[in-house]
Structure 1
Amino acid sequence: MLTVLSQNIQLAVTIQPSSEKKPDKIRKLVDIQANVAVGKGIGYERWAKKFNLKRWSQTLCLLQEKKLLSEDALHQRIAELQTQHDDALAVVKDLDARMVSLKELRGHLVVYRQYKPLAQKLQTVRNPAKFKEQHRAELAVYEAACAYFKANGLRTLPDLKKLDAEYQALSSEKNGFYTRYKKAQIELRELRTAQQNVEAFFRKEERSHAVPQQEVK
């Protein structure tokens, strides 16, 4: 693979369009023979050859840029990126779940503090039933907040400012891992497409060098 790619790299440099400031994303080569076999015409074949030439040159330039001119190096890099991708995504999901929990806690805490005076007043009014009916919605969310704290074993309620600071810290950490995840995802997608193009190229080379069997009469 290294020898063939090294030879084709020289061709790729001359093929790469000089007018493009930023190269297009790597795309898969099309199977010209398969499409022609199902009825595609000469016009399609001409277009497909130009398309494949451009995509092949981009593939080679990408592999040269990343110094992945051997099959083992390419496979190893893809495996490394897959690990980085999966690890970063796992952390992002974990941080996101913790942020959701903090947001839920904060919501109950705000409700609890807002309606606690109302719940305390309920204990002193002359007509508790009427008062409770008048403030049914407020007291319901207050009781839900109390039930949430009890279910989560919260005997001492956290400070809102500390809660907000923790949320912001988690958000910042999540953004960092999300950036790693997206970076690995983009490179992984490019290299997998490049790998498919290399495999397609060598399949084509094998077909073109195959010795046709003589017809048995």
Structure 2
Amino acid sequence: MATTRLIPMHVIKGQTVAHTVHERLSYAINPEKTNSGQLVKAYGCEPETAAGEMLLCKKEYETYIGRSEEKKSDIVLYQIRQSFKPGEISPEKAQEIGFDLAMSFTKGKYQFVVATHTDHSHIHNHIIFNSTSNDHTQKFRNFLGSSDAIRKISDKLCLENGLSIIEAPKQGPSHYGKWLGDKKPLSWQEKLRQTIDAVMAQKPVDFDAFLKLMAENGYKVKQGQHLAFNANGQQKFTRLRSLGEGYSEDELRSAILGKTVHTPKAKVPNRKNPGKINLLVDIQAKLQAGKGPGYERWAKVFNLKQMAQTINFLTENNITDYETLVEKTKAVTDRYHELSQQIKDLEKRMAEITELKKHIINYAKTKDVFAAYRQSGYSTKYYESNTENILLHQSAKQGFDSISSSKIPSMRDLQDEFNTCLDSKKFILKDYVKQKNLMKESLTVQSNVDHLFSQKTEGQAHKQR
């Protein structure tokens, strides 16, 4: 499970662009937070020199657009914060997923650094990418729906790595370590129920002791025809009879005397999509954990609905036996992972093409400068006055040396290959989304059938006894 948030980073008030870039990256790659720097990975730059390389890219952009410096209001960096559920993932796997997220979202067009922090209970990534593109011809524009796009990519990666996801997260400025989901502020009634549950767990000797413990927990008591409580900050008193089954004065008195057992009210899950197949509830296990009769009634109805949807799925897919279900589930899962790998391979090649195009552009722009540098006998004075262009030329040359073919492809051929990869990715994505949904349904159905068989087996064994 992971939450994500996109944060535009402006120039720090009263500081320069250079100071801002160094400051933001220094915080991210802090050795004390990243296991002595072992959990830092970069693309398009080196972690140790990322700030300088990003600033160099910005300098090239200024030359390209003919402007001497960025406005103080400009966004110089963007940060993606990706936080994982405590105990669900290792730092190394979080780093891998964070890198894949950054590469997929930026499409290899922007330098970025992924720093995985382990200084909190929740492992989290600080993904910082340059607002200026690698080829220094454009800046990233924060588009409508960018946060949603990041979340979808993160969810895809979590599913591929066997992690849970939040199905309906809320967007907002809340701290990134909080798991938002569909949580709402507790009502005064729910707060009162929880306090009563906590007090009853202390087993007060009599009802007066119960009222004393409620007062110690910040509640005022109003006794009369209807017993009521009022918390700090609450305008009106809440009557016990409004709390539902198990919370009336008579029921609480009975539980205190030991005649009955007080059972906290079960929270009924909010199912926003009734047409979706969900996992069956293990009613017996929940009841043993202290759930009350209200939960049992809801769970039985819920299970009946889910079994009806499970049977519909089996009928629609012409599945008549368990072996066929297992085979089809395996087939659709294998197909999903196959398509996922194809998309990864295409994205990797697109990133390579983008990098090679950058080298070609830089090589052509700096060719004459480097030739003059060579003719000067590699003069130190000439190097100092043309450092940026010489470094760009050398970097481009190293990029050419790394390709397997001795012939450097033309920009047109590279662009044609890039477009072909992009079209292939779009085509595969349609089937990928379909297979992902089918895989989730198939796995849920198989789990429901397994649960049903398990219940039958236990029931038969009980009868034999």
Confirm or deny a common fold (TM above 0.5): yes
- Given candidates 354, 368, 371, the residue that maps to 1:103 is 354
CA distance in 1, matches of 2:287, 2:311: 26
2:386 is matched with which residue?
135
The percent of aligned pairs where both chains have the same amino acid is 28
The one-letter code matched in structure 1 to 2:463 is: V
Q: Does 1:150 align with 2:426?
A: no
List alignment gaps of at least 5 residues for structure 2.
1-272
- Given candidates 276, 287, 300, the residue that maps to 1:36 is 287
The one-letter code matched in structure 2 to 1:159 is: S
2:455 is matched with which residue?
204
2:297 is matched with which residue?
46
CA distance in 2, matches of 1:33, 1:163: 62
Alpha-carbon shift at residue 110 of structure 1 (Å) = 1.2
Alpha-carbon shift at residue 126 of structure 1 (Å) = 10
Mapping for residues 27-106 of structure 1, pairs under 5 Å: 27-106=278-357
CA distance in 1, matches of 2:362, 2:395: 9
CA distance in 2, matches of 1:150, 1:31: 61
Q: TM-score, normalised by structure 1?
A: 0.79
Alpha-carbon shift at residue 156 of structure 1 (Å) = 3.3
Q: Does 1:115 align with 2:371?
A: no
Alpha-carbon shift at residue 141 of structure 1 (Å) = 1.4
Greater relative contact order (Cα < 8 A, sep 6+): 1
Closer/same/farther in 2, CA of residues 91 and 153 from structure 1, 3 Å limit: closer
CA distance in 1, matches of 2:327, 2:376: 74
CA distance in 1, matches of 2:377, 2:402: 32
Mapping for residues 178-193 of structure 1, pairs under 5 Å: 178-193=429-444
2:266 is matched with which residue?
none
CA distance in 2, matches of 1:154, 1:195: 49
CA distance in 2, matches of 1:25, 1:66: 16
Q: Which has the higher helix share?
A: 1
Alpha-carbon shift at residue 112 of structure 1 (Å) = 0.7
Closer/same/farther in 2, CA of residues 164 and 127 from structure 1, 3 Å limit: closer
1:162 is matched with which residue?
413
CA distance in 2, matches of 1:170, 1:48: 48
Query: Deviations for 1:157-216, whole angstroms, at most 9, x for unmatched residues?
Result: 221121111011012112322332332222111111101111212222333343153xxx
2:276 is matched with which residue?
25
Aligned partner of residue 211 in structure 1, secondary structure: helix
Closer/same/farther in 2, CA of residues 38 and 161 from structure 1, 3 Å limit: same
List alignment gaps of at least 5 residues for structure 1.
1-21
